[in-house]
Amino acid sequence: GDIVLLTKPVTLTEGDRVTLTTDVPVATDGTSKPEKLLYAVSLPPVRGQIEHINYPGVPISSYSQLDVVAQKVSGVHDNSHGAGKESLR
């Protein structure tokens, strides 16, 4: 089926850590198996990274819908002073 992805931008400021929830990336693929959806980080944050909560400090390049549902994925700002805000999309 067609894949539909709705996202709300997440804004991080210096030192922030934001857990991604199903309110942020919401995807459907027209099947009854949303647990098999995978997200790829195609444009990582400039001043931070996307992390799995079980591996803090280690950037990830992909994660699953189940990771989002379980609130195991975070966007983390790198604490750059004067870096301003970072948006995750």
> Comparing 46 with 52, which gets the higher pLDDT?
52
Q: What angle do CA 25, 54, 14 make, to 5 degrees?
A: 65
> What are the helix (H) ranges across 27-88?
65-69
**13 pLDDT tier (thresholds 50, 70, 90):** confident
Q: In this structure, what DSSP letter does residue 5 have? A: E
Looking at mean pLDDT, say which of 22-31, 33-42, 47-56, 73-82 comes out highest: 47-56
Q: What is the pTM of this model?
A: 0.75
* Mean pLDDT on 34-59: 86
**How far are the Cα atoms of 22, 34, 88 from residue 58, in angstroms, in the given order?**
22, 26, 17
- How big is the chain by its Cα radius of gyration, in Å? 13
